[in-house]
Amino acid sequence: MNKTTKTYLLPCLFFSILGYLLYFHIRNFGFTYLDDASLVIDTAKKFGQDPLSLIRLFTQNHLSTMQPQIFYRPIFAASFMINSIASPSSLTGYYLTNIALHVAASCLVYSLLVKLEYNYRTAILLTTLYVVHPILTQAVAWLPGRSDTLVAIFSITSFIAFIKFMETKKYVYYFTHLISFALALFSKENSLALVLISLLYVRLIMKRKLFSSEMISPAIGWVIVLTSWFMLRNTALVDPLKITAPEAARFLAGNSIVIVQYIGRIFFPLDLSVWPTIRDSQWIPGRWALIILTALLSISKGKRPNYCLFGAAWFILFLLPALVRPSIGLSAVFSNTRVYLSMAGLLIIVAETDMMKYADIKKWSHAALILLVLAFYSLVAYGHSLDFRNGSAFWANARRTAPHSWVDPKLVKEGPVVSRK
């Protein structure tokens, strides 16, 4: 068995089997009637009327029913158009695509951990946790959640290619980095953080100067990609939302508690909501999670502070674009899908603890504890996935877990009829 097969193919085969075993049942799910029905029907209709609309996605606003002044995600919309070709009369193909995207993203998370020089045992354990983690369920079981799996796939691919380019100076990695970066931007806006993440990697991990000749090529590439994306976005969005610096600061301050709430849901993913508002989401679990993680790091003799800082930056920076939004206050909703890409940063921090470095599945006590945790998370993820099986289940969960956002007693039965305070 060669090294590539042992290092990458077998682990990724394992992640694929695990992902499909856990989520294969969602192939029979219907609409939740939160954005998914309009996306599937509208994109299929547009493509059926004009096949060239697949190309025009980059210059026309394709999310007209979903706040047109904010979102510009042509790759995301293109994926639904392609699904409409392969599965014109059934949602099965759409849901199987969501599973495939989750599996692909998980394999890339594993590749990222290996590229950051964590041992294979640690990378496999943490990626397995990523595959089955309940907080990521919405990105798989809710059709519009694929925007986050897509941006994770392209962002991680771009970042790994950037590392390889900085190591080898081979331009095949340079262009892979830039093309993947462009695809990430066309998938979701939080990929803008990739430039800062790359710069932090050069400074914190590689310990090289940012203002040096070797950074000229990446900088030129970033400028070209960002300028092209910005121009196409302005063409597509007739009246794009404009946010001033003071407004952005106010939005960040008002929504910052969400970071703690996300951490709490990652460590204690119990009774997850499909409609997590700030008011109805607890922050105490996040506080305890931070205390536990800080304690584990403080007693870890082998931790690398620069890697811990890099992991924290990854987690926060990929979340920030979601926080800079007009919706602030206790009723603001922050979907669990938004933490999909950011969670890789938290895995990096956890990988620095001695608990993970010395975990040994050959010891029965370690193996039993690991299997218990993974089994528990898998059961919770399976149960939470059922909240997305149809509109009734989805809105019943929303009403139960976010009681302060809903006032219409018919909501649970009718699903798409929403009445908010």
Boundaries of domain holding 273: 3-414
Q: Residue 361: how many CB atoms within 10 A of its CB?
A: 14
pLDDT tens digit string along 185-235? 999 999 999 999 999 999 999 999 999 999 999 999 999 999 999 999 988
Domain presence at residue 79: yes
pLDDT for 339 beyond 90: yes
Integer angstrom CA distances of residue 417 from 40, 397, 401: 19, 14, 17
Contact 7, 120 (CB under 8 A): yes
Helix, strand, coil content of the chain in percent (nearest 5): 70, 0, 30
pLDDT band, very low/low/confident/very high, at 412 (cuts 50, 70, 90): very low
For residue 417, is pLDDT > 60?
no
**Is 409 among the domain residues?**
yes
CA distance 163 to 369: 35
pLDDT tens track for 340-397 = 999 999 999 999 999 998 888 888 888 999 999 999 999 999 999 999 999 999 999 9
More confident residue, 280 or 56: 280
pLDDT of residue 408: 46
> At residue 406, does pLDDT exceed 70?
no
Residue 335 in any domain: the answer is yes
Do residues 281 and 266 touch, judged by C-beta distance below 8 A? no
| CA diameter of the chain | 64
Domain assignment of residue 243, yes or no: yes
Residue with tokens 């409409």: 84
- What residues contact residue 26 under an 8 Å CB cut-off, 6+ apart? 95, 98, 99, 140, 141, 385, 388, 389
Mean pLDDT of 159-184: 97
Residues 292-316 have pLDDT tens digits of: 999 999 999 989 999 999 999 999 9
Tens digits of per-residue pLDDT, 77-107? 899 989 988 887 899 999 999 999 999 999 9
CA pair distance 69, 71, nearest whole angstrom = 6
Q: Is residue 242 part of a domain?
A: yes
Calculate mean pLDDT across residues 272-296. 94
Quick: pLDDT tens for 17-66: 999 999 999 999 999 999 899 888 877 777 766 777 778 888 887 665 54
In a domain, 421, yes or no: no
- Is 419 contained in some domain? no
Tally of domains within the chain = 1
Q: Does a structural domain hold residue 180?
A: yes
How far, CA to CA in Å, does 161 sit from each of 29, 166, 300? 36, 9, 31
pLDDT tens, residue by residue, 241-269: 777 888 888 888 888 899 999 999 999 99
Mean pLDDT of 333-337: 93
* Residues 133-150, mean pLDDT to the nearest whole number: 97
